[in-house]
């Protein structure tokens, strides 16, 4: 479930890299601020994952299910202090069925990305496109999907 955050961060960094290359290698203050946020803002990373791999209009049900389970996961894993009232946020457990559902959702999105890249239906920034152009990765994702049923 945390993998979606790491993929989201990677997609965002690839986008910033591409934009900097198009801008003659310039990495501006806004980019630096955004990269700092990527290191700690879970919702930003999760959002970038969803924005990259889900067609919001074509997959609304999947998107909503992802968000619901992601919120439950955030509440289950992260402890911290709320901004403003400084209340301590305590994690609670997430059910095995919800965890498996989230793993399946993330895995299926990755399978779709790899299949789409291999058949020419999807294009990403250069680095993710190169990663998703792998039959070996597709085979591993398909095997993983069978174990989480």
For the chain, the domain total comes to: 1
How confident is the model at residue 73, as a pLDDT? 67
Q: In 5-44, which positions are buried (b, 16+ CB within 10 angstroms) versus exposed (e)?
A: bebbbbbbbbbbeeeeeeeeeeeeeeeeebeeebeeebeb
- What are the tokens at 70? 């992601």
Per-residue model confidence (pLDDT) at position 119: 92
What is the extent of the structural domain holding 12? 3-147
Give the pLDDT confidence score for residue 60 in this predicted structure.
65
pTM for the model: 0.67
Give pLDDT, residue 118.
Answer: 94
Helical (H) or strand (E) element with 28: none
Q: What average pLDDT values come out for the chain (149 residues) when binned by 10 residues?
A: 78 84 78 85 82 68 69 64 63 68 82 91 82 91 85
């Amino acid at each position: 479930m945390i993998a979606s955050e790491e993929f989201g961060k990677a997609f965002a960094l690839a986008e910033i890299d591409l934009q900097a290359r198009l801008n003659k290698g310039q990495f501006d203050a806004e980019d630096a601020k955004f990269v700092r946020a990527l290191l700690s803002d879970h919702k930003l990373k999760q959002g970038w994952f969803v924005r990259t791999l889900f067609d919001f209009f074509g997959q609304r049900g999947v998107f909503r299910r992802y968000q619901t389970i992601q919120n439950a996961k955030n509440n289950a894993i992260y402890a911290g202090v709320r901004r403003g009232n400084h209340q301590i946020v305590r994690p609670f457990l997430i059910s095995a069925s919800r965890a498996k559902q989230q793993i399946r959702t993330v895995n299926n999105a990755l399978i779709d990305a790899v299949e789409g890249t291999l058949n020419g239906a999807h294009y990403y920034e250069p680095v993710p496109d190169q990663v998703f152009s792998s039959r070996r990765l597709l085979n591993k994702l398909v095997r993983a999907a069978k174990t989480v049923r």
